[in-house]
Amino acid sequence: MTLRNLFILLFLALFSCSTSDKKEEKEEKPSKEELTGSQTELNSQEIDSAIYSREVLDSVYNAVILEYKDQLTFISNFKKSQKLWERYMEAQLLARFPEDDETRDGSCFSMCYSLYQQELLKERINTINDWLTGFPQGQICGGSVKVKE
Q: Where are the domains of the chain?
A: 39-130
Question: Of all residues in the chain, what percent carry a pLDDT higher than 70?
Answer: 76
The pLDDT of residue 4:
53
pLDDT 10s digits, 88-116: 999 999 999 999 988 888 888 899 999 99
pLDDT at 12: 52
pLDDT for the residue 11 = 52
Q: Tens of pLDDT along 39-70?
A: 888 888 899 999 999 999 999 999 999 999 99
- pLDDT at 123 > cutoff 90: yes
Per-residue confidence band for 81, with pLDDT thresholds at 50, 70 and 90? very high
Sort 60 into a burial class: Cβ within 10 Å, 0-12 / 13-18 / 19+.
Answer: buried
How much is the average pLDDT of 62-82? 97
pTM to 2 decimals? 0.74
* DSSP per-residue codes, the chain: --HHHHHHHHHHHHHHHHHHHHHHHHHHPPPGGG--S-HHHHHHHHHHHHHHHHHHHHHHHHHHHHHTTT-HHHHHHHHHHHHHHHHHHHHHHHHHS-TT-GGGGSTTHHHHHHHHHHHHHHHHHHHHHHHHH-B-TT-TT-TTSPBP-
Share of the chain above pLDDT 90, in %: 58
Q: Is 32 exposed, middle or buried (0-12, 13-18, 19+ CB in 10 A)?
A: exposed
Encode burial over 128-137: b for 16+ CB neighbours within 10 A, e otherwise.
bbebbebbee
Q: Per CATH, which fold does 39-130 belong to? A: Substrate Binding Domain Of Dnak; Chain:A; Domain 2 (1.20.1270)
Q: How far is 149 from 145, CA to CA, in rounded Å?
A: 12
In the structure, what pLDDT confidence band is assigned to residue 8 with cuts at 50, 70 and 90?
low
In the predicted model, what is the mean pLDDT of the chain? 83
